[in-house]
Amino acid sequence: MFIQTEATPNPATLKFIPGRTVLDNGTMEFTSREAASRSPLAEKLFDVPGVTGVFYGNDFVTVTKDDSDWQHLKPAILGAIMEHYMSGAPLMADGSVTSDVDETADEFFDEQDAETVEAIKDLIETRVRPAVANDGGDITFRGFKDGIVYLNMKGSCAGCPSSTATLQHGIQNLLKHFVPDVVEVRPM
């Protein structure tokens, strides 16, 4: 088994590509050892000293570290991922391979803005999320109020030094161009 590794814009996060589907649908993020107990792979990764976060995308796993050195962490992480896939163990303890998180559960916006919100969500889904997934992360819509779009950043995007620039110069400009009601984009 060959696992490809890619750098991300976040120096604290690496993207690992096992050459097979990781999660059939959606994304999943583990920001603590307790949350990782739902996934045998995430648990193994959190056993590596220095690992502070695990994120699953369709065909990749991103791992976030503390101030430890990648040179020491990377072999252990590669070993944990390889061991997991070679063992045939399920990704999730309950056997699921799709995100069980309802992305729309915590959304907020006025009903009168529904058309604007649909346009925003479409742009995020078709233009933003695919690009961000290439960098090992995900960005999801959380809300819209008074011209401000609120987004949730996950995976390599969370805590990334360039995330503010991505939001303000990339996503904000894109949304303002196509949706005149948008005045600002903020992380949640």
Comparing C-alpha atoms, which of 31, 36, 2 is closest to residue 17?
2
Residue with tokens 């695990």: 54
Q: What pLDDT digit, counting tens, does each position of 147-166 carry?
A: 999 988 887 777 666 666 67
CA–CA gap between residue 124 and residue 50 (Å, rounded): 32
- Domain topology for 108-187: GMP Synthetase; Chain A, domain 3 (3.30.300)
Q: What pLDDT digit, counting tens, does each position of 27-56 carry?
A: 899 999 999 999 999 999 999 999 999 999
Binned at pLDDT 50, 70 and 90, residue 104 comes out as: low
Q: How far is CA 179 from CA 28, 59, 115, 127, 164, in A?
A: 29, 31, 10, 14, 20
pTM for the model stands at 0.80
**What is residue 163's predicted lDDT score, i.e. its pLDDT?**
67
Q: What pLDDT digit, counting tens, does each position of 24-35 carry?
A: 888 899 999 999
Q: How far is CA 42 from CA 16, 140, 166, in A?
A: 13, 22, 27
Distance of CA 151 to the CA centre of its chain: 12
Average pLDDT over residues 90-110: 74
Cβ(16)–Cβ(77) under 8 Å?
yes
What is the percent of the chain where pLDDT is above 90? 56
Which one is the CATH code of 4-87: 3.30.1370.70, 1.10.10.10, 3.20.20.140, 1.10.10.60?
3.30.1370.70
Question: Given the DSSP bridges, would you call strands 61-65 and 51-56 parallel, antiparallel or unpaired?
Answer: antiparallel
**What is residue 25's predicted lDDT score, i.e. its pLDDT?**
83
Looking at the DSSP bridge assignments, the partners of residue 119 are: none
**What is residue 99's predicted lDDT score, i.e. its pLDDT?**
59
